[in-house]
Amino acid sequence: MTIQNLQLVNILVLVMAGLIIGQTLLLVLMSFRMAKQARNLDESLRLLSQKSAQGVAFAQRVIAAVEKLTPKLSEVESTVEKELTTFLKASEKADQAAGRTIDLLRFELGKADSGLDALLSKFSQQTYAVHRATVHPSMRVSELIRASLKILQRTLSREKKSPASYGPEKETFI
């Protein structure tokens, strides 16, 4: 087999060699990056492992403390139950007493309200009576005085006019 275009083959071989070198460089770079990420992951896992170990140790201490307190838990439970029962009874009594006090206050306030309403009503009636007793007579007297003044003005104005002041068209016929 003979190669007809040797120059083209040389170029293709060079391109292929360049691609292989590029691929190799890319693989080297990726392997360095992967190694760095693997180190970071290893460090993160180590820290997580330490924290987990601390958490497990804390959980073991809590479990040990709970195991020590377990026999005393029934005593604590009965004591708390007794205290809660006592508190509940006391609060019920206080609630009943407060309810009675509120009902009594409501009743007394109702009585005071009705008494105050009656007192205000009587005061209003008395105020109206005083108003009527003082204003109405003074209004009547004022009306009488006005009427008297008008009558006086009319009579005085007629007396001042003499019969000569009437013109020929104003003569009166009997």
| pLDDT tens digit sequence for 18-75 | 999 999 999 999 999 999 999 999 999 999 999 998 999 999 999 888 788 777 777 7
3-class SS shares of the chain: helix, strand, coil, % to 5: 95, 0, 5
Determine, yes or no, domain membership for 18.
Answer: yes
pLDDT of residue 163: 54
Determine, yes or no, domain membership for 162.
Answer: no
- Sign of torsion over alpha carbons 13, 18, 21, 27: negative
What is the total count of domains within the chain?
Answer: 1
pTM of the model: 0.34
pLDDT of residue 137: 80
- Sign of torsion over alpha carbons 114, 119, 121, 122: positive
Q: Which domain holds residue 19?
A: 8-154
Determine, yes or no, domain membership for 103.
Answer: yes
Determine, yes or no, domain membership for 164.
Answer: no
pLDDT of residue 164: 56
| pLDDT tens digit sequence for 96-147 | 988 999 988 888 888 888 888 888 888 788 887 777 777 788 788 888 899 8
Q: To 10 degrees, the CA torsion angle through 136, 141, 144, 145?
A: -140
Determine, yes or no, domain membership for 167.
Answer: no
Determine, yes or no, domain membership for 146.
Answer: yes
Q: Is 122 helix (H, G, I), strand (E, B) or coil?
A: helix
Determine, yes or no, domain membership for 104.
Answer: yes
Determine, yes or no, domain membership for 138.
Answer: yes
pLDDT of residue 173: 58
